[in-house]
Amino acid sequence: MSVYIHYEGTNPHTELIENCSMTVSDALRIFCAGYKTKYPAGTLGYSLDRLELHPYGAPTAVLPQSAVLSTVCSDGDDLVVVVRGGILPPPPIVQQPIIHQREAVNEPPVTAADAVQQAEKWIAAKQYARALQVYEQLLPLIEPALRAHVYAKVASIHNSTGNMSKAVENFEKAILFGSMSKMKEVHEYRILLARLLCDGPKQYRKALEALSSVDGEAKNTKEFYLSFAVANYWLGNQKVGAETMTALVKAAPEYTDALMAYCRIYSHQRMYSDAMSLAIRLLVANNTDKKVKSFFAEIFRADPEGLRTLRQCLDTADNPEADKVSLAQGVGYLAMVLKDSSESPAGAALYLWSCEMDPANRSYVLNYLHTLEIDLEYTAALHFVRGFLERNLDVMIGEVSCKAVLQILENTQESSSTPARTAPLQKTSFPVETLNLMAIYFTIVKIKFIMGDVVSVQRLVSLLRHLTTGQDLHLTLIRNEAAYFTCIGELAASVSPFPLSAAPSETIYVCGDSHSLSPSWRTLKGGKVILRNALVTGLKCWHLREDTDFYPKRNFYQTMSKIPDGANVIMIFGEIDCREGLVQAVERARYATITEGMHVVIGIYINVLKELRTKRRFNFYIHPPMPTIEVTRHLVLQFNDILKAEVQASGFQYLDLLTRMCEGPVGQQKLKDIYTLDGVHVHPRYLDLLEEELFKEPKVDS
């Protein structure tokens, strides 16, 4: 779990807090330390007693300094630092070299050991860019032995960020300088290089060359034998590789990396049941490790009958005494892992199995619905949820029963006469099962909106709205579902349902993240054109790259597959990249600057659009991400400047909306108040401008 802490003064700063078991006070101290490093002459870092932390968009809600972050925030929350008595204007930025002779009285010069220690702290905090900055300034000043150590650290950072070529380059430098100094650690560097060559570019022969120079105690380590076995096996010397690997896992039965490599050998030899059993064992022992989760999906995917094999490994039909509730929990976890890696059909089947084993668990129901959403199985989702509601007719939240929701889904006469509850519930902390039931209701609303059933959406919103009024659902586990419900509730109230007999003759699809909701199901050109929603939940442009299997990418391609060839499609993506991805990517040294990162992700986006234009003949209109969120507005505006240029250079039509929707000086523009809806999404009253942009005459070069 992680949160972002922002300061929005003259010199802004953002700090990522990944350990949310600390208190608010400790988080503020970390924030101030980072701020002081960035702005050494700044005053904010000296005013801890005057600082308050607020949830974004809730300026009156002060988080208690003694509270543990995880109890008052959700994963990915944005928090804002405010100074009591007004914002202290920090002085101009003063850039200070990290390695320098301090001239202040009684302050000794920074030593190489001090610098290395500081870099280690940055690495522990995953602030890789700061660590690299220290190392880059340190390298020219130190002896070869320490230089070898630093190059190895730099290589490890690049390995962590996925930059394999730089990782290999720096390990080779570490080996060079280590050999010059006759360091025993040089053998460790050769093993690390070999491991990297096996795992990344699959250069097994080069890996064996690196291992051939390893000597002494390092040659008898499990790390040496692992790379030796892997390189031999995949070079074709399978007997040596398999025998070495077998001996290694017997000698080190808890060595996760060796067990993963052994599992791949099982899979390669089509021993799928053995591979699946071992993969499950690894996942159970490392259930929070992203690498192991991805590995499990890899083993599952390699099996032509992966779901059948998995069920055989888990099935306890021959054991009537088996604890079905515990098994359902394990199956549900496997479903989540597979769903996250785009194996959504298998994930859905496993969630359904969990529902059957533990029908009272609403979390499985909710996650089953979300997994069906990935593949646009909306009809199946509604059919399933009807059965759930029928089994729980009398279950209540406040005065809302499952029966009342079911009546709206069934479009019964009784549902149209059900009075709306207007008095909100008393503010409370809802039990998890109540929250899950709310989330199921909210997901029904979301699905109905995507399907264009505006009448049902309006009735459901009228029935359910009071459940959210005055409640801090944005601080709960269902904050995403609640956010969709709130947004759709605002939008649906102003949509006029049209009779099928008078349906518009032309369709333009609106494909995007949650920002696609605002213009959807509205008509243009006097009712002749309908804007049809094609939601892709949570997609970043970054998710569209080739080397990922994260489920929003599958959801994107499933959505595009349902749009007819040659259709007109508005594309609205990029805001989530600005809000969640780019700043962290720079901090973690994936990119040198925000601008570089923007060019990379926009390039990924544009290349996918070009491919779809060629294969499917879509006519794309590129909608700018909207600068609605204050803390990321400057990033969104910069992103749009780059996006506009790239779109026009690629022959797509850019919808140039922001020049008329924003106000203020260049670089400090903000969305005009009339176009704001909920602080995150744009108000549909911008449709007049959208219509003008969509149907304007193209410019003809003179």
Alpha-carbon distance of 305 to 72, in angstroms, equals 44
Contact 527, 506 (CB under 8 A): no
Tokens of 631: 């803390």
Alpha-carbon distance of 31 to 134, in angstroms, equals 19
pLDDT surpasses 60 at 501 = no
Phi and psi (nearest 5°) for 252?
A: -135, 70
Over residues 354-377, mean pLDDT: 97
Which whole-number Å values give the CA distances from 519 to 534, 545, 618, 653, in the listed order? Answer: 11, 27, 19, 18
Percent of the chain with pLDDT over 70: 88
DSSP string, 411-426: T-HHHHTPPPP-SPPP
Q: Which of 243-247, 321-325, 345-349, 466-470 has the lowest mean pLDDT?
A: 321-325
Higher-pLDDT residue of 299 and 470 is 299
Give 622's strand partners. Answer: 571, 654
Q: What is the pLDDT of residue 125?
A: 86
Max alpha carbon distance in the chain (Å)? 86
DSSP 8-state code for residue 270? T
Q: What is the pLDDT of residue 78?
A: 76
Q: What is the pLDDT of residue 351?
A: 97
Q: What is the pLDDT of residue 413?
A: 53
DSSP 8-state code for residue 682? B
The pLDDT tens digits of the residues spanning 97-123 come to 444 443 333 444 568 888 888 899 899
Rounded to 10°, the helix 454-464/479-492 angle is 120
Question: Tokens 């059957």 appear where?
Answer: 356
Phi and psi (nearest 5°) for 86?
A: 115, 155
Tokens of 466: 């009071």
Contact 540, 575 (CB under 8 A): no
CATH code, 112-311: 1.25.40.10
Contact 675, 683 (CB under 8 A): yes
Q: What is the pLDDT of residue 577?
A: 95
| Helix, strand or coil, per DSSP, at residue 508 | strand
Question: Tokens 């020049």 appear where?
Answer: 659
Alpha-carbon distance of 32 to 30, in angstroms, equals 5
The pLDDT tens digits of the residues spanning 518-556 come to 999 999 998 899 999 999 999 999 999 999 999 999 999
Alpha-carbon distance of 634 to 625, in angstroms, equals 12
Q: Give 418: exposed, middle or buried? Use CB within 10 Å, 0-12, 13-18, 19+.
A: middle
Strand 568-572 versus strand 619-622 pairing type: parallel
Which whole-number Å values give the CA distances from 672 to 2, 480, 663, 687, in the listed order? Answer: 32, 26, 6, 14
Tell me how crowded residue 123 is: count the other CB atoms within 10 A of its CB: 19
The CATH number of domain 314-491 is 3.40.50.720? no
Q: End-to-end distance of the chain based on CA atoms, in angstroms?
A: 56
Architecture of domain 3-83: Roll (3.10)
Rounded to 10°, the helix 633-649/594-616 angle is 40
Alpha-carbon distance of 445 to 443, in angstroms, equals 5
Q: What is the pLDDT of residue 204?
A: 96
Q: Which of 175-184, 212-221, 389-398 has the lowest mean pLDDT?
A: 175-184
Q: What is the pLDDT of residue 46?
A: 45
Chain length of the chain: 702
Alpha helices in 520-632 (DSSP H): 551-561, 575-576, 582-587, 594-616
**Residues sharing a CB contact under 8 Å with residue 431, sequence separation 6 or more, in sequence order:** none
Task: Say whether 314-491 and 112-311 share the same fold.
Answer: yes
Contact 656, 637 (CB under 8 A): no
Residue ranges per structural domain of the chain: 3-83, 112-311, 314-491, 503-695
Q: What is the pLDDT of residue 499?
A: 47
Tell me how crowded residue 369 is: count the other CB atoms within 10 A of its CB: 26
Q: Quickly state the pLDDT bin for 88 (edges 50, 70, 90).
A: very low
CA-wise closest residue to 517 among 552, 543, 492, 481: 492
Q: What is the pLDDT of residue 106?
A: 45
Phi and psi (nearest 5°) for 535?
A: -70, 140
pLDDT surpasses 90 at 648 = yes
Q: What is the pLDDT of residue 581?
A: 85
Alpha-carbon distance of 521 to 248, in angstroms, equals 61
Over residues 400-409, mean pLDDT: 95
Q: What is the pLDDT of residue 682?
A: 95
The distance of Cα 582 from the centroid of its chain, to the nearest Å, equals: 11
Higher-pLDDT residue of 535 and 502 is 535
Q: What is the pLDDT of residue 7?
A: 77
Sign of CA dihedral 505, 510, 511, 516: negative
Alpha-carbon distance of 222 to 227, in angstroms, equals 9
Class for domain 503-695, per CATH? alpha beta
Q: What number of CA atoms fall less than 13 Å from residue 676's CA on the CB side?
A: 13
| Helix, strand or coil, per DSSP, at residue 25 | helix
The pLDDT tens digits of the residues spanning 585-639 come to 988 889 989 999 999 999 999 999 999 999 999 999 999 999 999 889 999 999 9
**Residues sharing a CB contact under 8 Å with residue 386, sequence separation 6 or more, in sequence order:** 406, 409, 410
Tokens of 545: 């790259």
Q: What is the pLDDT of residue 414?
A: 58
